[in-house]
Amino acid sequence: MKFNNQQKRSKSKLNFSNILPVGVVSLVLCLGLVQLWASHRLSTNGEKLKQIEADISNLETQNMLLADEVNKMGSLAEISQRAQKLGLIKSSLVLNITPRNSVALNH
């Protein structure tokens, strides 16, 4: 059987009208999957970011505590107390040695 032009056109319109809804549904489905994937990624990255911020806060707190401990251990009172524990005593004799000829003054 041979189709005339009108029958061919009606058949092509029929095919296009059947394909269009399937294409739209497929496109909507694909976009929905992309949105689901993007939401999942954002959620996962948000949790990682919260964990990193908590780690930073913890490290900053530890850093402040360690800085305070360094300052305390470096104080003159602490050093003097440690020296006494080690058996070191304060010398009453202070000896200053000066050179006869100062090299720095002679240019």
Q: What percent of the chain has pLDDT over 70?
A: 79
Check if the beta carbon of residue 78 is closer than 8 Å to that of residue 72.
Answer: yes
3 pLDDT band, cuts 50/70/90, is low
What are the structural domain ranges in the chain? 5-85
Check if the beta carbon of residue 5 is closer than 8 Å to that of residue 13.
Answer: no
Q: Has residue 2 got a pLDDT over 60?
A: no
Q: Has residue 107 got a pLDDT over 60?
A: no
**Residue 68: other Cβ atoms inside 10 A:** 10
Q: Has residue 30 got a pLDDT over 60?
A: yes
- Average pLDDT on 36-44 reads 90
* HSE-up of residue 104 (Cα within 13 Å, Cβ side): 2
CB under 8 Å to 72, separation ≥6 — which residues? 78
33 pLDDT band, cuts 50/70/90, is very high
